[in-house]
Amino acid sequence: MVDALGDAISKALADSRVKAIVVGSAGRCFSAGADLGDISNRHDTLDRLRWLTTDIVESASKPIIMAIHGLALGGGLEFAMSGHYRVCSPNAEFALPEVKLGLLPGAGGTQRLPRLVGVNFALEMMLGGNPINADIAKAKGLIDLVAEHDLVEEAIAFASVCVERGVRPTRELRLIEGQPSGTDGVKADNASLTQAQSSIVRCVDAALVMPFPEAMAVEKTLFEQLRMSETSLGLRHSFFGRRTVGRIPGIQNRKSAPAIHSVAVIGAGLMGTGIATALINAGLKVTLIEPSAEIVERAIGKIQSTLKRDVKKGRISSEIASARLAMLTPTKGPASMADADLIIEAVFEDLDVKRRVFSDMEKYAKPSAILSTNTSTLDLDRIASFTRRPDRVAGLHFFSPANIMKLVEIVRGRETSDDTLISVMNFTKAIGKVGVISGVCDGFIGNRMFEEYLRQAYFLLEEGALPQQVDAALESFGMAMGPFRTMDLAGQDIGWSIRKRRAIEQPDRPYSKIPDLVCELGRFGQKTRAGFYLYPDGRNPQHDPVIDELVIGHSNGIGIARRKIEDAEIVERCIFALVNEGAKLLSEGIAHRAVDIDVVYVNGYGFPEERGGPMFYADRYGLKQVQRKIAEFQKGPNGWAWAPASLLVELATEGRGFGTVNATDE
Ligand code: NAD
């Protein structure tokens, strides 16, 4: 397309009848930018874009006017900025979002934007990567004219004015050094900048002191460094991953999959309330079924206060908040689910209660309705067997708080039909969530892996670490929250009950006793203002020496000589526990691709996005190295937990990575 644009513009320039050129787009938007897949694989993509912008458009002998509607993002905006003038429609949006993928605008964006909008605002746009609207773009000088009626007509009318004015190459606009420069302010705070952000600042510095071609060379060199950086590779893996997971291996999207317009949520507890909020926020009609009037009232109060907060923060208007609330119909009786296309059950985690609710669904739901459960631990195939339509049953495992967390594990039962899967996958996309398919197993993808992560975190305490050290090590690795703070937030009692169950189901896979000892003190985390930490304000953790004593006392009690544990070991033990279990999930077919696991962890478990996800991280680390580490851990005091996954061994031996497993399905 870049070449074709170059040819078309050159042809128009060579035509003596042409006085000025208007470039517009017939598509949904002006341009959403370069194809990232192309940028990942071919380094000459940007060279072509540099050629188009600098050698063809900006150097043209006749005025070139860009007519912009919809989005002009990344390379699309860089192309637009190389034009001599810009006209846009009122709905246009502009951004250089490269920083979000650990990159910089590499086709002259760092050089042209400051010349059009000034250094300060250019830095704000490029360091944050967020879009601006047409009014702001006009006020800041990015746009010459906002069209009122017909973009192309008005751009053509404006072109005749431009013929009088002549060409205006952006590179020749004066970048006044003395203007209030944001670069110094930004530099002062340089320590907190990411690599991509500080590279952007360096490019703008170059724009201030170097001739244009030299500064462009700086931009190119820094772009190439970023393109190959681990951070950008990880961010791009996450970005593509979110798209990949929507493609269900072996199933083509098709029209027969029923669309979902109305939803019934059963149970107005923590999850039901969060799910209902997410749905009305996405513009869906929701019936919330809950027998207890008191709980319904509490749920509505919670939803109202969430909406109020959104209004207060300027995210939505009060009219929109009222319209959203009007989408919700609370009811007591199950008969009101009759109209729903999808029913989401979020009642107590108890198979008998679920059985009753699914029998109700069988009775009241329309025959085409899809029935789903938010269960975290129960067997989906058992639940599906309570109905006469197991093909139309799937798990929808939302994460708490469900109106905020992006991840939904879509659980595919033995009999779940392809159409059902497609419908719920499309539904998760429509409500702005990231759906990942998981097979049926205890804990699905996310929690089954997390259990091994926690097991290691607890053993580390026994062997010599303290909770605050484990949390700090994993947080500096990039986890949003360390394991002890996470469990304090989730409620230590939840883990306790799971461990009690596990002690019966899997007596050969014990945990450290330490978290049980903490629970025995009635310390369930934030909700009791004490867990592994103290929470005097109910929210912020404070170190508690009582826990240090408890941990050290336990090690002594069971005869373990505590040793100094390095932060690196903490990270490797916890993260490779995720990786090893992830490998097992892959070979069992619970997760179809490694990237599915990565997306679960980045979007549901606070795994650092710039590291791509646990499986991607392991691939970059090298599976041979991971295998060697696991062999070392096997020799440790709880080595039994480190039986290496056969897939990991196989891939390491073949010199392959997880990314190659089922990669053709992507
Ligand atoms: P909760 O106890 O807060 O809410 C359950 C609600 O269901 C209660 O309000 C109860 O009155 C209602 N209920 C019970 N029987 C009902 C019936 N027959 N009809 C209608 N409503 C009925 O529980 P929760 O934390 O919201 O969990 C609900 C489900 O979500 C469970 O299956 C749980 O495993 C799962 N889940 C929970 C979390 C979490 O973080 N809490 C996360 C993911 C999934």
Mutate to test the pocket of ligand 1, among 288, 376, 442, 605 (most ligand atoms within 8 A of CB): 376
CA 426–ligand 1 middle distance (angstroms): 24
Given this model, what pLDDT does residue 39 score?
Answer: 77
Buried b or exposed e, range 567-594, using 16+ CB within 10 angstroms = eebbbbbbbbbbbbbbbbbbeeebbbbb
Predicted model pTM: 0.91
**Which pLDDT band holds residue 274 (cuts at 50, 70, 90)?**
very high
Give the pLDDT confidence score for residue 258 in this predicted structure: 86
Distance from the alpha carbon of residue 258 to the mean position of ligand 1, in angstroms: 27
**Ligand 1 atom having least distance to the Cα of 271:** 26
Both tokens of residue 18? 């042409």
Measuring from atom 8 of ligand 1, which residue has the nearest CA?
269
**Tens digits of residue pLDDT in 441-474:** 999 999 999 999 999 999 999 999 999 999 999 9
List the single range of 21-30, 31-40, 421-430 with lowest mean pLDDT: 31-40
d(CA 610, ligand 1 centre) in Å? 34
- Mean pLDDT score, 164-182: 78
Distance 540 CA to ligand 1 centre (A): 27
Q: Which residues line ligand 1 (CB under 6 A)?
A: 266-272, 289-292, 295, 346-349, 353, 356-357, 374-376, 397-398, 400
Is 610 part of the annotated catalytic residue set? no
Q: Residue 287 in contact with residue 261, Cβ under 8 Å? A: no
Per-residue confidence (pLDDT) for residue 666, from 0 to 100: 46
The per-residue pLDDT for range 303-312, each reduced to its tens digit, is 999 999 999 9
Centre a 10 Å sphere on the Cβ of residue 540 and count the other Cβ atoms it contains: 10
Mean pLDDT calculated for residue range 403-417? 97
Q: For residues 142-164, give the mean pLDDT.
A: 97
34 pLDDT more than 90: no
Distance in angstroms (rounded) separating the CA atoms of residues 361 and 383 = 12
Task: Report the pLDDT value the prediction gives residue 179, as an integer from 0 to 100.
Answer: 47
Annotated active-site residue 297? The verdict is no
CA-closest residue to ligand 1 atom 3: 269
Give the atom of ligand 1 at the shortest distance from the alpha carbon of 292.
11
Instruction: Give the per-residue pLDDT at 180.
Output: 45
**Atom nearest to 398 CA in ligand 1:** 43
Q: Count other Cβ atoms within 10 Å, centred on residue 653.
A: 11
Ligand 1 centroid – CA 350 distance (Å): 9
What is the average pLDDT across 210-217? 96
Q: Best mutation site among 348, 362, 374, 486 for ligand 1, i.e. most ligand atoms within 8 A of its Cβ?
A: 348
| Residue among 111, 105, 5 nearest 52 (CA) | 5
Give me the catalytic one of 58, 78, 345, 409.
78
- Confidence bin at 251 (pLDDT 50/70/90): confident
Pocket-testing residue among 265, 271, 373, 397, ligand 1, by greatest number of atoms within 8 A of Cβ: 271
Which is nearest to 111 in space by CA: 53, 65, 52, 62?
53
Residues 482-525: tens digit of each pLDDT: 999 999 999 999 899 999 999 999 999 999 999 999 999 999 99
Does pLDDT of 363 surpass 60? yes
Atom of ligand 1 nearest to the CA of 360: 18
Across 87-111, average pLDDT: 97
Is the per-residue pLDDT at 185 higher than 80? no
CA–centroid distance, 445 to ligand 1, in Å, is: 21
Looking from the CA of residue 357, the nearest atom of ligand 1 is 18
On the question of a cis peptide bond just before residue 401, with omega within 30 degrees of 0, the verdict is yes
Across residues 388-393, what is the average pLDDT? 97
Name the residue of 347, 405, 526 whose CB sits within 8 Å of the most ligand 1 atoms, as the mutation to test its pocket: 347
Res. 334 pLDDT band, cuts 50 70 90 = very high
**Which residue has a Cα nearest atom 1 of ligand 1?**
269
Which atom of ligand 1 lies nearest, measured to the CA of 354?
18
**What local confidence, expressed as pLDDT, does residue 72 receive?**
98
Which residues fall within 8 angstroms of residue 190, CB to CB, at 6 or more apart?
198, 201
Q: Is the predicted pLDDT of residue 639 greater than 70, yes or no?
A: yes
Distance 174 CA to ligand 1 centre (A): 62
The stretch 607-635 carries a mean pLDDT of: 98
**What per-residue confidence (pLDDT) applies to 190?**
64
pLDDT at residue 35, as a whole number: 82
SS3 of 178-221: the string is CCCCHHHHHHHCHHHCCHHHHHHHHHHHHHHHCCHHHHHHHHHH
Indicate the top mutation candidate among 265, 266, 270 to test ligand 1's pocket, ranked by most ligand atoms within 8 A of CB: 270
Percent of the chain with pLDDT over 70: 97
Q: 502 with 511: CB under 8 angstroms?
A: yes
Distance (Å, whole) CA 165 – CA 176: 22
Question: What's the pLDDT band for 475 if we cut at 50, 70, 90?
Answer: very high
Quote the pLDDT of residue 664: 62
Kindly tell me if the per-residue pLDDT of 478 is higher than 80. yes
Closest approach atom of ligand 1 to CA 490: 40
pLDDT given for residue 470 in this prediction: 98
Query: How many A from CA of 408 to the centre of ligand 1?
Result: 16
**Tens digit of each residue's pLDDT (9 = 90 or more) over 126-145:** 999 999 999 999 999 999 99
420 C-alpha to center of ligand 1: Å?
Answer: 23
Query: Which of 58, 98, 290, 462 is an active site residue?
Result: 98
DSSP code string of 303-323: HHHHHHHHHHTTSS-HHHHHH
pLDDT at 178 over 60: no
